[in-house]
Amino acid sequence: MTGDNSGDDVDAGEDVGTDAGTDGDVDDSGDLQDREPEAFSLDDFYTAVDAEQRPVLTTEQVARRLDLTQAAASEGLQSLAAAADLETVIHEGEPVAWYPTEIRDLAARERIVLFPTRREVVVDQPTQYTRAHLSQFAHLVDSTGSEPGSRGYLYRIRQEDIWAAPFDDLDGLLASMRSVFPRRSTHLEEWVESQWSRAHQFTLRTHEDGYTVLEAATEDLMGNVARQKLSEDQLRAPMSDTESWVNADEVASVKRVLYEAGYPVVDERDLDTGDPIEVDLTATLREYQQSWVDTFLDQKAGVYVGPPGSGKTIAAIATIAAVGGETLILVPSRELAAQWREALTSESTLTDDQIGEYHGGQKNIRPVTIATYQTAGMDRHRQLFDSRKWGLIVYDEVQHIPSRVFRRSADLQASHRLGLSATPVREDDKEKEIFTLIGPPIGTDWAELFDAGFVAEPEVEIRYVPWRDEMARNEYVSADGQERYQLAAMNPAKIAEIRYLCETHPNSKTLIFVDYLDQGKEIAEALDIPFISGETRHYERQQQFEAFRNGELQTLIVSRIADEGIDLPNAELAIVASGLGGSRRQGTQRAGRTMRPVGSAVLYVLATRGTREEDFAQQQMRHLAGKGVRIRETNVSE
C-alpha cells in the first residue's frame, strides 16, 4: 500500500513485483525470459525500474532486467530520449544513467508486490482488472488512499480463499493468478496446488437407493480423517474402504467437522427442489448482481457479500426466480419478514397468496415462506420445516448463523443455500463457520462499487470529544472495567456535540445511534427527539419508523435494535453517540444506514478523548477503511 510497505525489508525468497502488464513470464530468479528486442518501450523501462527497485537506471541494468543485449538496450534508451520520454544523468567516471522525463508517472502507475512466504499481495493504484482477479482468490485485508483510483490495497491469500475459488480446475485458478502477479512463484503455486487438492478430497453424493454417502479420495483419508474425526451418529456404517453411509440429519455437522480438519466437502447430492414455482424478476439486475447470481447457480451455495445499498435482496429474488423451487427465507425479526414480503411482491411476479410467513404473528406455509430463525429452530416446529423439500433456503443477515439459536436452522436440507450479509464478520472469529454451513463468499469489491457510482461512498469522521463536566470526568477516573467504558460512552459533552452536528446539517434526515438506554433517554429529553429501543412497544415503534420513512419525522434516536433487520430509509446524517466496543460489524451496519445509490451522506462517530473509546472507534472504522471508505479524524475543541 502506498507509503506503508515499500520501505519494508522483503522476506528471503520473496518476489518484489512490477506491473501486472509485463510482457513475458518471469521465473523465481528474477530474470525475465527471452523477449523480442522490438518490444522495447517506455512501459518496458518502467518494468525495469520496478524490477530494479530504483528510478534511475544504467544501460547495463536495463539490459539485464529486459534480457536485451547492451547494444539493443542502448539503442532503445536513446530512442526514448529522442522522443523526450527519458532524461540522462552523467557523472564523470560513472556510466550514463536514465530516468523518466515525467518521473511523477512512476508514482501514478499500478504497482504489485508479491510476498509468497507470507502469501500477501500489496497493490498500489490497482486497475479494476487487477482487483477483479484478486477478489477471486484473495481476501482484501486493508486499503488506504484518499481518492478513487489512488488507493493502495493489501490482500492475503488464505486457505479458505483457495478452497472457495470459483474455477473449474486448478489450471484456471493458476492462470488467473499469473495474469495479475508480476512474477511466478513456485513456492506460492505449490501451496495453492496443495490447498486446491485438499478442497476436493471428500464428496457427498446420493446413493441410487436414496441415502447419503461420503466418499474419500483415498482409503487413508477415509480411515485416518473421516472415521477418526466423525462420530458414529454422523457416520452410520462403512460401505467400502473409501465410502461411508452418512446420517442425513447430520450432514451440516459432517461438513463442519471436516472443514475444521482442513478438508472442505464437495456436496453433489441430488436434493429435491420441491414443487416448482413460476416467478419472474421485474427489476433489472446490474452487471455485478447478475455475476453473483450466475456464480451462485454454478455452486448451488454461497453468501452474497456487499455494502448496504448494493442490492443483495434484489439479487436474492433473482436467485429465487432462477432456482424455481419452493423457497424458505430465514430472517432475524418479524419486521424484516414484512419487508421481505413487500420486496417480493414489488420486485417480482409473486403475489401475496404465494407468500407465507411463519413466526410469532403468523404461521402459514406457502411456495415462498418467510420465517424467523428462532421459530425455524424450535423443536415443535422443526418437523414441519424438515418435512419440506426446499429448493432454496435464503439466510438473511447470515452472520448470525454460528450462534447457538440460529445455527440449528442450518441443518435444514435444501438443494441450494444462499446467505446475505454486508458484514459476515464476527468478533468471535467464526466467519469460517458461516461459509462452512452455508457456502463460500460471493461479492464485489466495495471500492469498485463506490468508483462505479452504484453506491455512494459516505463521508466518515471520528470526532474526539473532550470532557467538559469535571464531575463526570472524576467519576470516570474513579471507575474501572466495563463501568469506565460506559461512563466514557455516556460523556455528557456528547449531547452538545450532537446538537451542534444537527444544527450544522439542518435539513438532513438524521439517525442517532446509542448503545445505552439511559444515554438514549438523556439525549431524547435534551433535544426533544423520539427514542426507539427494545422497550418501545411494537405498535409505537412501527408508527415512529413510518413517520421517519415518510418524512414527518426528521430525526430519530435508535438503540441497537436498528443496527440490522429494520427497514429505514437511508439517512443523510448518522451520528454514533456510543457503540458496541470495537465491533466491526456494528460499525459497518451503522455506516450502511447512509449508503445509497445517489447523493452524499455523512457518518460521525463520537469518542471521548483519552479513553478506550478512541481505540474502539478506530477499530470499528478500520474495517470500513479496508472496504475503501475514507476516514477523517477531528479533535473537538474544549
Look up the pTM and report it: 0.56
Range of the domain at 513: 451-635
Instruction: Give dist(CA 521, CA 528) in Å, integer.
Output: 10
Number of domains in the chain: 4
Judge whether 18 lies within some domain. no
> Is residue 490 a part of any domain in this protein?
yes
> pLDDT category, 404, cuts 50, 70, 90?
low
pLDDT recorded at residue 234: 92
Q: Where does a domain end: 171, 192, 213?
A: 192
Single out the residue in 444, 476, 496 at which a domain terminates: 444
537/544 Cα distance (integer angstroms): 11
Examine the domain organization and report whether 134 and 224 are in the same domain: no
Contact (CB, 8 A) for 53 and 14:
no
Residue 529 has pLDDT above 80, yes or no: yes
pLDDT over threshold 70, residue 275: yes
391 and 495 inside one domain: no
pLDDT at residue 378 is higher than 70: yes
Residue 241 is assigned to a structural domain of this protein: yes
Do residue 224 and residue 124 come from a single domain?
no
Asked whether residue 471 is assigned to any structural domain, the reply reads yes
Put residue 453 in one of left, alpha, beta given phi > 0 → left and psi -120 to 50 → alpha.
Answer: left
Give yes or no: residues 155 and 230 share one domain: no
pLDDT above 90 as % of the chain: 23
- If asked whether residues 466 and 577 sit together in one domain, one would say yes
Angle between helical axes of 59-66 and 70-82 (0-180°, round to 10): 110
Q: Is residue 423 over pLDDT 60? A: yes
**pLDDT for 148:** 41
Asked which of 186-200, 422-436, 484-498 is least confident by mean pLDDT, the reply is 422-436
Is there a single domain that holds both residue 351 and residue 368? yes
Which of 220-229, 297-306, 460-469 shows the highest mean pLDDT? Answer: 220-229
Helix axes 42-52, 70-82, angle to 10 degrees: 120
Asked, for residue 254, whether it belongs to a domain, the answer is yes
Across 116-120, 162-166, 407-411, 442-446, the highest mean pLDDT is recorded for 116-120
Q: Return the C-alpha cell found at 199.
A: 478442497
Same domain, 439 and 572: no
pLDDT reported for residue 410: 67
Classify residue 276: in a domain, yes or no. no
Residues 174 and 208 in one domain: no
Q: Is residue 557 part of a domain?
A: yes
**What is the pLDDT at residue 33?**
41
The set of cell numbers assigned to 298 is: 454454478
Q: State yes or no: pLDDT of 292 exceeds 50.
A: yes
Question: Does 278 fall in a domain?
Answer: no
Same domain, 169 and 84: yes
Q: Is the same domain home to 346 and 466?
A: no
Q: Are residues 390 and 494 in the same domain?
A: no
Q: If you average pLDDT over each of 12-21, 292-301, 341-350, 390-399, which comes out highest?
A: 341-350
What is the spatial order of strands in the sheet that 355-358 belongs to?
Answer: 355-358, 368-372, 327-331, 392-395, 417-421, 301-305, 441-443
Task: Average the pLDDT over 405-434 and give the result.
Answer: 65
Tell me the CATH number at 237.
Answer: 3.30.780
User: What are the pLDDT digits (tens) for 74-117?
Assistant: 888 988 888 888 888 776 677 888 888 776 555 556 778 888 88
Question: 633: which strand partners?
Answer: 462
Position 26 confidence tier, pLDDT thresholds 50, 70, 90: very low
On whether both 316 and 261 belong to a single domain, the answer is: no
CATH of residue 343: 3.40.50.300
Across the range 58-84, mean pLDDT stands at 87
Angle between helix 481-489 and 612-626 (nearest 10)? 70
On the question of pLDDT at 551 being above 90, the answer is no
Tell me the pLDDT tens digit for each residue of 437-464: 787 778 766 666 666 666 666 778 889 9
- What's the gap between Cα 322 and its chain centre? 24
Last residue of a domain, one of 169, 192, 215: 192
Rounded-to-integer distance, Cα 128 and Cα 143, Å: 15
